[in-house]
Chains A and B, each alone.
Chain A
Amino acid sequence: MYPELSEAERFPLLTPAGRQLLQAMRQHPRAPLWNWPNGEQLNAAGLARVQQFAQALNQPRQQSRPDWLDEFTEYCCHQVPFYRQRLNRNSSPIGSTAFDAQPSCAREDLAPHVSNFVPDDQSLDELIVFSTSGTTGHPTRMLFTPAVAACGVPLIEYALARYGVALPRGPQQVAITNVAAYKDAFTTAIVVAWLGEAGCVRVNLHPSAWRHSADCAAFINQWRAPVWLGDPVAFEQLLQIELDHEPQAIVSSIMHMPDALKAELARRFNCPVLDIIAMTEVGLLALRADDGHEVLPHDVYVEILGDDDRPVADGVRGEVTVTSRRNPLMPLVRYRTGDFAAMRRDGSRTILCDYQGRVPVLFELATGRTVHCMEVTRLMRRYPLMQYKLHQVDRDHFQFGYRGHVDIDALTLELSSLLDAPRVLEVEPMPWNPTRQRLWSTALQGDGLSDLAPRRSSSCS
């Protein structure tokens, strides 16, 4: 599917022991069909940056508003075309590089002109491109450095530490099993430099990802990773698999974790279930606690903005907006995430209350098959759409709206094939809609997870 990176490119710091684990994972007789030849691409300088990040992450926080905001904003206003142009634009004079004077921006600003968010003074030598669909139906690509991508592990470890769980180090074991459950999901096995080359496997529970149906359980059982990472749909699938061990923790992200499923997972696997908010733009953002979702990273400043671009009072719902300096290739100043919550500050803690996360949707088809919303997302990544929306009217009737210049005949053909050729597939261009709306929706009863229990968002106590 992708041009193969060489081993030296994927793992610049690979040791003989790391290579041995890598080969053991990849060449295991019951391994899944690997389809994602990736790697951290992390060199010594990159690893040093991850170490600095982890050190800063673990420092005690003194205040909820960081002191780097104004300096960072001034840098962006000088070096990043998007902020610079906005500063000078007469139609909305900002007139100041101070953080508080900046208007917000959103995926709609980023998606059409990604290059406008790349600072002029940044080298483009180390570049990783991620695709993202977001919640607002504006697919885009984002630029990262290997070090920024690798910061995801210390962030997860920081969240796990709240439950007394630490990721293991060294090339003797697999630290993380990442699970997905939809057709054509990426599968890979890597070693993680930050963890001293402990392994991380990503497996797909969908039957099409395995040579034999029994291999899935056998492979997961083989590595006995102490931490499982995935989305609620995948974890619900995992409940159906005969596993002979319990992890130390389950980390659920990408979509909202229903309370009932969380409780079922905790009971079945006898471990804490962490419900995190993570997004491509800033990585892991918050961890669900009893009193809401606590913001974790030290280098992301979170605000709740109203429609007028002003921060709302604590306790009032608005749009979760982030300012992040972690990614040198895409610094974000007041970036609206498309998710909504209220906020409460408790000393140095920032709590998101009543957070409305992404709800996973499973489309139940007339053929009896179920299509995961991520399969739709994967398909849409191949077409340069500005915006799209898929709504299921009934099992045999779908409505697809799109904005962008694409080969719509080819897209329709592929979408129809993905949905098992429904009786009606309405495909219509959609007008520009700056308001945020769900990418996927279904008029059918529930969404595939609802049989477990009605879901409830966290709320401020």
Chain B
Amino acid sequence: MLGLILSFIFCVTCSPANVMKQLGPPLEMILHRLSHCPADLFEQAAQSSRLTRALVCDYFRQSQPELASDQLDALLPAHTGLNMLWMPMAVWLLSDAWFKDRPELQAALHELFKDPKLSALMELVKPDALVNDPDRREEFVRLLLQALDLRPAGETLEQALDRLNTLDSVERSRILRATREAERRAREVREAMARAKAQESASRYGE
């Protein structure tokens, strides 16, 4: 069963959605920065989605002061709530000079905050884990880089994919759910077969 799960993980996360063509910052550097994210940043954001929106809009206003309010709104998902809790940490990371010095990332940044995988992660992981849990910290950073079509400096595409697959909480959760469902159904069939009141209980014709 483990082999099946791993093969599912490999297959699904190797989809060509984001191929991580470009080299991003060194992983250690960005992990280090995230680990120093002020706790009150995500704690306060957790209290108010409006604060999160304000944080994201401020970030874009700093780099692109010409963006109008409706353009800023378009950079964020329509629905708010749990799925926004990663955004303060993203803003904290993207405020690093490595990102600020790369205007070529603007197009990807405009799509970043609508990324479904980062939002889906928040359905499984508490916000503080993105900072305090080493695995979830690395998963978050790698997902964020992937959403920007980047991979950590010094890694090949295969290495980056392999590490991301290993850490992928959303996919792992989906597969575990699917596996549980499959096992439930298999048990149901086995029990129905055992219950079948009389084996060979109908005639066969020439078989």
Contacts and interface: CB of A to CB of B under 8 A. Distances in A.
Interface of A: 2-5, 9-10, 36-41, 81, 85, 88-91, 93, 113-116, 118, 120, 124, 127-132, 141, 143-144, 146, 149-150, 152-153, 155-156, 176, 178, 186, 188, 190, 200, 202, 229, 251, 253-254, 276, 278-280, 283-284
Contact of B192 (A127, A149, A155, A186): A127
B16 interface: no
Nearest to A192: B203
Nearest to A123: B192
Contacts of B197: 3, 5, 9
A10 B202 CA distance: 8
B205 A5 contact: no
A129 B203 contact: no
Which of A114, A115, A146: most chain B Cβ within 10 A?
A115
8 closest cross-chain pairs (CB), A and B: A152-B205, A253-B206, A115-B189, A124-B192, A149-B202, A278-B206, A115-B186, A2-B198
Given A2-B201, A115-B193, A280-B207, 7 more contacts: A5-B201, A41-B201, A118-B189, A127-B192, A129-B199, A202-B203, A253-B206
Nearest to B202: A149
Nearest to B12: A88
B204 interface: yes
A116 to B, nearest CB: 7
Interface in B170-207: 182, 185-186, 188-190, 192-193, 195-207
B90 to A, nearest CB: 31
B204 A130 contact: yes
B124 interface: no
Contacts of A131: 199-200
A186 B207 CA distance: 13
Interface in B131-188: 182, 185-186, 188
B206 A254 contact: yes
B7 A155 contact: no
Given A38-B203, A85-B4, A89-B4, A116 B193 contact: no
Nearest to A148: B202
Contact of B196 (A120, A129, A152): A129
A361 B10 CA distance: 49
B11 interface: yes
Nearest to A128: B202
B149 to A, nearest CB: 24
A254 B207 CA distance: 6
Given A85-B4, A88-B11, A141 B202 contact: no
A41 B182 contact: no
B150 to A, nearest CB: 25
Given A152-B206, A278-B206, A39 B201 contact: yes
